[in-house]
Amino acid sequence: MLTRRTTQRLYLLRPSKKVNACIQYCVAIAQRRSGIQIHSLVFMSNHYHMVVTDEEGTLPIFTEELNKNLAKALNCLHSRWENLWSGGDKTNYLTLADEETVLEKTVYALSNPTKAGLTSHGGDWPGVRLFRKAKYMTKKPGFFFRPEDKGGKLPDRLLLELTAPPIGAHEKIAEDIVQSATTKEEKLLRNDWLKSGKKFLGKAGVRAQQIHASPKTPATHKKMCPKVACKDKWLRIKMLLSLKAFEDAYKPSQKRFSGGDHSVEFPLGTYRMPRFYGARCAEE
């Protein structure tokens, strides 16, 4: 699960026809250049959640392309030049280690508009909220990217493909399971919201938000940043031990490399050092 928020929680991703089209096109670019499988994506006004599968170890390419292109394009649209993304919080990568957790996090993302008191049903969210297996045609935003007939290197149209989530069910019924679980969760959230005497902002209210505004609720600064989510305790422990083993092997390798020993071999899964510095990396 990928999560990234905007600087100071500003509504720089606020839904609109141009913003929505730009988001989908930038996601399509990132997918094209990385080969990442996308199962669901939800772009709120100041952050996004995506559930993806990375089979080739190209996730850093995907997030780099997405965050870079989206920041440049939306800054152009909003006539601004400062950072679009939060500087302190980088993209959060949360490994979903089992099928139950994949479903749970997918439902969490899809029900975000209701949980935040924005729309009573997730399907009413006016922004980008996709989870059904399909190929979506995206169009290049004319306000930033150069058209092909004027020398633009990127296609004027790109396919954005979503695949069924790995939740232990056949792909033909997987999205129905996701929809059913999301509907159930939204009903609980909706009832709790209405019982508290609050009203939902609604589509019009969301679109009317100012991009330089931010939530009135105080920001939470978490001391912990989980890297693994798993319902199975022992599988979670196994995953965490594997992650620790990688870190224990990486640190001395980096120290030796920085000291001039370029023959050192980095552990399997290392991305930055082989790509940018030509370092050796262990193979399976």
| CATH code for position 60 | 3.30.70.1290
- CA end-to-end span of the chain, whole Å? 24
CB 46 within 8 A of CB 5: yes
Cα(228)–Cα(24) distance, rounded to whole angstroms? Answer: 27
**Which residues are paired to 5 by β-bridges?**
47
- The mean pLDDT value for 168-182 works out to 94
My answer on whether 111 and 145 are in the same domain is: yes
pLDDT (mean) for 102-121? 97
Q: Read off the pLDDT of residues 232-261 as tens digits, 9 standing for 90 and up.
A: 899 999 999 999 999 999 999 999 999 999
The four Cα atoms 17, 19, 25, 31 give a dihedral, to 10 degrees, of -130
Confidence band, pLDDT 50/70/90 cuts, at residue 87: confident
The total of other beta-carbon atoms located within 10 Å of residue 102's CB is: 23
Quote the domain boundaries for residue 208.
2-231
Which pLDDT score is estimated for 31? 98
Q: Are 37 and 171 in contact (CB under 8 A)?
A: no
Query: Are 174 and 261 within one domain?
Result: no
Are 259 and 214 in the same domain?
no
In this structure, the answer to whether residues 200 and 261 fall within a common structural domain is no
Pair 212, 265 in one domain: no
For residues 226-265, one letter each, b for 16 or more C-beta atoms within 10 angstroms of the residue's C-beta and e for the rest, the string is eebbbeeeeebeebbeeeeeeeebeeebbeebeeeeeebe
Give the span between the Cα atoms of 113 and 148, in whole angstroms: 36
Q: Which two tokens stand for residue 118?
A: 């924005």
**pLDDT for residue 278 is more than 80:** yes
pLDDT per position as a tens digit, 68-78? 999 999 999 99
User: Is it the case that residue 221 has pLDDT exceeding 70?
Assistant: no
Residues 84 and 38 in one domain: yes
Give the chain's domain count: 2
Does 253 lie in the same domain as 135?
Answer: no
Asked if pLDDT for residue 88 goes beyond 80, the answer is: no
Quote the pLDDT of residue 218. 75
pTM above 0.85, yes or no: yes
Q: Could you tell me if 64 and 150 lie in one domain?
A: yes
Buried b (16+ CB within 10 A) or exposed e, 175-186: bebbbebbeebb
Average pLDDT across the chain, whole number: 94
Choosing from 190, 205, 231, the residue where a domain stops is 231
Q: How far apart are CA 45 and CA 95, in angstroms?
A: 24
- Based on the domain organization, do 155 and 254 belong to the same domain? no
